[in-house]
Amino acid sequence: MPFSLSKEYDVVVCGAGPAGLMAAYTLGKLTSGSRKVLLLDKKEPWKEPIFCAEAVSRDRLSALWPVDPSFVRGPLSGIYFTSPKRYRAEFYSKDCGLILDRARFHHAIADGCVNAGVECHYDVLIKKLERSGSGWQLTVDVGGNLETVSARTVIDATGPGCKLTRDIECLQGIESGNADLEPAIFAVAEGIEHSREHIELFFGSEFESGYGWIFPRDGVEVNIGFVLGKNVKSKVSLRQKLMDFVAHDYPQAKVKAVYGGMIACTGPQSKPFAKNGLFKAGDAASCVNPISRSGIVESLLCGKIVAESVSEWLKESTDEGRALVESLVQPRWMQSLGKSHVQLARAKDAFNSIRDSQFDRAARHLSKLPREKQTLFRIFFNVLWACPSLIWKMRSFLH
């Protein structure tokens, strides 16, 4: 439907992934229509495919957004940890998390944005962002026509890579969101027998500095894929590597589609998240868990923190007051989740140094225990037992 944008907004939120949707929704709620908030994306947030395995912690999600069966594919009650020789340890817990239908989940938050008074457009490509006076100017492509829009403040929630903001002079020194981009690829496949309530994680040199996975979808299809470390050089293309993995382990599988993406991992998160009225949220601020590579709940949380800060920023009447609000965003993130990410990032190198034989030894031992004895604690200590040098390497994490 044709529409035209206003020329001026208080806040423009760029990107309607979990971070941007949550930021826009929170701002709409906090400002109750007293501020003009615009949410832009180049595509509808519920448009498939969404490059994701869609697993979240139920507790963490429900602390941010009410969990509704309409956007849940199913509950998780276990994780298989699978070693290179395919020995399997099983961690069982009645409530391990959820597999979302992210398209529907995004739709639910997008509806929340509209109800909270946010102006939303999902067919607008943001071409350029530049400083203009004390605010920002955006050049956007609306159905082939270029328009300009100005904003007092902008939230960059455009995901990993940060093309929009990375070369802007007055933003140098803030969190870049492209510190460690790790390649991930997955296939939606049928014909792989897999428990609907388990995720399966594959470790070892086959998935160097990363891991392979199977995540259930609807009981018929699964999401099978892997992420590799950022510096790993694969001898074959990622697609070929995925096909080889599927053909080797599940020769009867039928691959329906293959998708790839980048995961913004392990930014040091020591740099500010905001400067000169520009705030970063979600993957654009490197908020992904460095080991699990989960980023959905992390982006929602970061989007909320950023929106609360922007709401305070708008109330400030001096440059000093606004600069203070900007400087407090990163500490707020660190307080809520960032500190644990820094610890995990330190443990990541040690984890990546575990050899195949050590994974096999630990998983084989665990697989012989009854399921109720395969607690996370025991899994952790069996890996340490199989790989004693880890204790030394992980000393900073264990403290």
User: Residue 166, interface with ligand FAD (CB under 6 A)?
Assistant: no
Q: Is 354 helix (H, G, I), strand (E, B) or coil?
A: coil
Sign of the torsion formed by the C-alpha atoms of 329, 116, 37 and 264: positive
C-alpha torsion sign, points 284, 285, 290, 292: negative
Angstrom distance (rounded) from CA 33 to CA 52? 33
Report, in Å, the least distance between residue 193 CB and ligand FAD. 21
280-339 residues near ligand FAD, rule: CB under 6 A? 282-284, 288, 294-296, 299
Report the residue number, 177 or 272, with the smaller CB distance to ligand FAD. 177
Sign of CA dihedral 376, 378, 382, 385: positive
Looking at 24, 35, 54, 82, which residue binds ligand FAD (CB under 6 A)? 54
Minimum separation from the CB atom of position 399 to ligand FAD (A): 27
Query: Which of 126, 101, 132 has the alpha carbon at shortest distance from 15?
Result: 126
Q: Shortest distance, CB of residue 135 to ligand FAD, whole angstroms?
A: 19
d(CA 176, CA 160): 9
Q: How many other CB atoms are found less than 10 A from the CB of residue 328?
A: 18
For position 51 contacting ligand FAD by CB under 6 A, the verdict is: yes
Query: CA–CA separation, 27 vs 19, rounded Å?
Result: 12
For residues 339-362, one letter each, b for 16 or more C-beta atoms within 10 angstroms of the residue's C-beta and e for the rest, the string is eebbbbbbbbebbeebeeebbbbb
Examine residue 18 and tell whether it contacts ligand FAD (CB under 6 A).
yes
Closest contact distance (angstroms) between CB of 309 and ligand FAD is 16
As measured in angstroms, the least distance from the Cβ of 326 to ligand FAD is 19
At closest approach, how far in Å is the CB of 89 from ligand FAD?
20
Pairwise CA distance, residues 308 & 311, whole Å: 5
CB environment 192-202: b (16+ within 10 A), e (fewer) = bebebbbbbbb
Candidate segments 14-22, 65-73, 74-82, 374-382, binder of ligand FAD by CB under 6 A: 14-22
Taken in order 94, 99, 104, 106, the sign of the CA dihedral is positive
**Residue 90 sits in the site that holds ligand FAD (CB under 6 A):** no
Shortest Cβ contact with ligand FAD: which residue? 295
Question: Considering only 42-50, 144-152, 228-236, 389-397, which stretch makes contact with ligand FAD by CB under 6 A?
Answer: 42-50
Binds ligand FAD (CB under 6 A): choice among 120, 154, 184, 224: 184
Least distance from C-beta 41 to ligand FAD, angstroms? 4
The distance of closest approach from Cβ of residue 57 to ligand FAD in the complex, given in angstroms and rounded to an integer, is 9
- For the beta carbon of residue 380, count every other beta carbon within 10 angstroms: 12
Of 2-10, 40-48, 232-240, 364-372, which part binds ligand FAD (CB under 6 A)? 40-48
222 binds ligand FAD (CB under 6 A): no
Q: Does 212 bind ligand FAD (CB under 6 A)?
A: no
Site of tokens 């590597």: 241
Residue 397 found at the interface with ligand FAD (CB under 6 A): no
Q: Among candidates 289, 288, 390, which has minimal Cα distance to 349?
A: 390
Pick from 13, 19, 138, 325 the residue near ligand FAD by CB under 6 A.
19
Identified binder of ligand FAD from the candidate list 261, 267, 277, 338, rule CB under 6 A: 261
Residue of 24, 118, 164, 274 that binds ligand FAD (CB under 6 A): 164
- The gap from C-alpha 112 to its chain's centroid, in whole angstroms, comes to 21
Q: Report, in Å, the least distance between residue 328 CB and ligand FAD.
A: 20
Cβ atoms of 228 and 106 closer than 8 Å? no
CA distances in angstroms from 349 to 160, 182, 225, 339, listed in the order given: 22, 14, 22, 17
Q: Which stretch binds ligand FAD (CB under 6 A): 17-25, 110-118, 317-325, 361-369?
A: 17-25
Binding site for ligand FAD (CB under 6 A): 15-20, 40-43, 45, 51-56, 125-126, 157-159, 164, 184, 186, 261, 263, 282-284, 288, 294-296, 299
